[in-house]
Amino acid sequence: MDEFELVARYFDHPQAERNQVTLGIGDDGAVLAHMPGTESVIVTDTLVCGTHFHKEHSAASIGHRALAVNLSDIAAMGASAEWATLNLTLPSFDESWIEQFAASLLALARRYDVALVGGDTTRGPLSVTMTVGGRVNTGAALRRNGAQPGDSIYVSGLLGGAAAALERDDVHSEDALLDALWYPQPRLALGVALVGLAHSAIDISDGLLSDLGHVLHASANLGADIDAARIPLYPQAERDLGHRRALELALGGGDDYELCFTVPTARRGSVSVLEEELALPLTCIGEVTPSGACHVRHNGRILTELVPGYRHTWSG
């Protein structure tokens, strides 16, 4: 048995039993059943050492993150996740690293009933690529381009935690900011519940203003009015970095993996019910406007403005 067969052994654990997986890991390919009345949603993401994470970051956090960032995209589409593939490039055979990486990735897969159906292992600079498949009822997928003027704009959870953890440059203590950075929680239950409720949705991987900008741009170049006072911040980020910096990171920091979605105003009551059911903060931060500009206001004053093209500048 060579070392890459040994790697495969760490992933050879009981997989989520899924009806649609006719043949899972172990053959030349996986076989997935067609499910009438549904459509497949496919997402993929690559994490490269030195770009998306660094050598000192734990194998467990990298394993979790590799799957979580893909599940976050599945959530943003309103789909439920079904299967995943993993392509792992390793510089050397470090058995304890591989064991921790695999255990963390598989724990997240089990939590969301995702079957690992295949993958590949090669030698080279450390990088992790995952592809995840999910499913929605035909025509039901959430999209970026459905926002309408007057929609209420919501975000899930708290924002800016991952960016605050990086800026604070303290990777040794354990707290909510580091959890946000290394163990982002994909909002799959929220995504599925938003089908038929939200006009549009996106996950916040590049920062709230950037990703909301994608929604507005795709939705016929609409604008937005955002109230800075309503942006949900991490108390720890405000304490460690100050309110202003915590707000800046919540607006532009990235790596939040929360969902941003727009809902017709008449359905806001349903969002409140959902917030209770999921025990997850769902905060209305503003509304979609017909203009092509996105304004963030603070005490009635315009704090920042995004114009079409979405290069944002700070004022005041």
Out of 45, 73, 82, 256, point to the residue binding Mg ion (CB under 5 A). 73
CB of 73 to Mg ion, least distance (A): 4
Which listed range, 19-27, 80-88, 109-117, 196-204, lies at the site for Mg ion (CB under 5 A)?
196-204
255 binds Mg ion (CB under 5 A): no
Q: Which is nearer to Mg ion, 66 or 241 (CB)?
A: 66
258 binds Mg ion (CB under 5 A): no
Binding residues for Mg ion, total number by CB under 5 A: 3
Residue type, 32: L
167 binds Mg ion (CB under 5 A): no
Segments of 170-267 assigned E as strands? 200-203, 223-227, 259-263
Cβ-proximal residue to Mg ion, closest one: 203
Q: Which is nearer to Mg ion, 151 or 203 (CB)?
A: 203
Return the SS3 of 283: strand
Which listed range, 23-31, 72-80, 125-133, 288-296, lies at the site for Mg ion (CB under 5 A)?
72-80
Q: CA-to-CA distance for 213 and 251, rounded, in angstroms?
A: 11
Which listed range, 1-9, 17-25, 66-74, 110-118, lies at the site for Mg ion (CB under 5 A)?
66-74
CB of 4 to Mg ion, least distance (A): 31
Q: Strand pairing partners for 261? A: 154, 201
Q: What is the largest CA-CA distance in the chain?
A: 67
Which listed range, 55-63, 71-79, 95-103, 108-116, lies at the site for Mg ion (CB under 5 A)?
71-79
To which residue do tokens 């700070």 refer? 314
Q: CA-to-CA distance for 64 and 84, rounded, in angstroms?
A: 13
To which residue do tokens 């295949």 refer? 118
Transcribe 66-95 into DSSP letters.
Answer: HHHHHHHHHHHTTPEEEEEEEEEEESS--H
CB of 180 to Mg ion, least distance (A): 17
Which listed range, 73-81, 118-126, 133-141, 213-221, lies at the site for Mg ion (CB under 5 A)?
73-81
Contact 70, 43 (CB under 8 A): yes
256 binds Mg ion (CB under 5 A): no
Q: Which is nearer to Mg ion, 178 or 259 (CB)?
A: 259
- With vertex at residue 60, the alpha carbon angle to CA 59 and CA 63, rounded to the nearest 5 degrees, is 85
Q: Which residues would be at the binding site for Mg ion (CB under 5 A)?
A: 73, 203, 205
